[in-house]
Structure 1
Amino acid sequence: MDELVQRLSQGEHPVTVGGPKPSLEELQKRVGDMGYVFIKFTGTRGGTDLGVRVDKQATNLSQANFAQASGIAHIEGTLTLNYVKVRCVADIDLATLNGNGHLAVLEEVHL
């Protein structure tokens, strides 16, 4: 299995909101309207910014207050990283846009 995928699927790792314009407003728009967010794993060399298709059923915003920039947004979604299908699971603190997350391996794509 890919070394990066293996490392990010073991334990929790520091994450932040990624993408071209990381902001609270952008995160809210992406989770709610677009269904596609960027989660950046900051503990890798240079950081690993992942584009994640949001799983609306698994994502939980009940503890998130975007208007007051407080609480935790639990975001889950899928992507393919280095030919491995994975689920990204992240808890983002809306006050700082930082949090913890990990990958769960779904299946390895064989070429």
Structure 2
Amino acid sequence: MNDLIQRLSVENQSVLVGGPDPSLDELQKRATEIGYVFIKFPDTTGGTDLGVRVDKAATDLRNADFTTGRGSAHIEGTLTLDYVQVRCVADIDLASLSGTGHLKPEGAQAA
């Protein structure tokens, strides 16, 4: 496993809502309708903005009030980073569009 994936696999990394339009409305639309969100790990050189396919069964939006911008969203999904299948786990505070998260290698790389 490469260095970037190892570093991002440490729990409680700082994360932000990423992508071209990091807003509350965009996060809601992507998490509930499109099924593809951007999560940014800002503490890497230049920041690492990842496109994550939302796992609707593992994502929990029950504590997220997108209308008032209060609460938090637990988002999980998968992606391939440097040829390694990983799961992204992030808890996002809606008021600040920031939170904590980490990656989990899946499959043969997880061993």
TM-score by length of 2: 0.95
C-alpha distance in 2, partners of 1:43/1:64? Answer: 25
Q: Which runs of 5+ in 1 are unaligned?
A: none
Corresponding residue of 2:25 = 25
Deviates more, 1:3-12 or 1:47-56: 3-12
Give the secondary-structure state (helix, strand or coil) at the position aligned to 2:62.
coil
Instruction: State the match for 1:40 in structure 2.
Output: 40
Distance 2:25 2:46 in 1: 25
Residue 10 of structure 1 aligns to a residue in which SS? coil
Asked if the contact 1:89–1:102 (Cα under 8 Å) also holds between the matched residues in 2, the reply is yes
CA contact (8 A) 1:85 1:108 kept: no
d(CA) in 2 for partners of 1:104, 1:21? 26
Asked if the contact 1:84/1:108 (under 8 Å) is kept, the reply is no
Secondary structure, in 3 states, of the residue corresponding to 1:87?
A: strand
User: Is 1:97 paired with 2:70?
Assistant: no
Query: In 1, distance between residues paired with 2:25 and 2:15?
Result: 18
How many residue pairs are counted as aligned between the two chains?
109
- Which 4+ residue blocks in structure 1 deviate beyond 2 angstroms? none
The percentage of counterpart residues that share the same residue type is 64
User: Quick one: distance in 1 between partners of 2:45 and 2:11?
Assistant: 17
Change (3 A) 1:40 1:56: same
- Tell me which amino acid in the other structure corresponds to 2:96: T
Which SS does the other structure have where 2:11 is aligned? coil
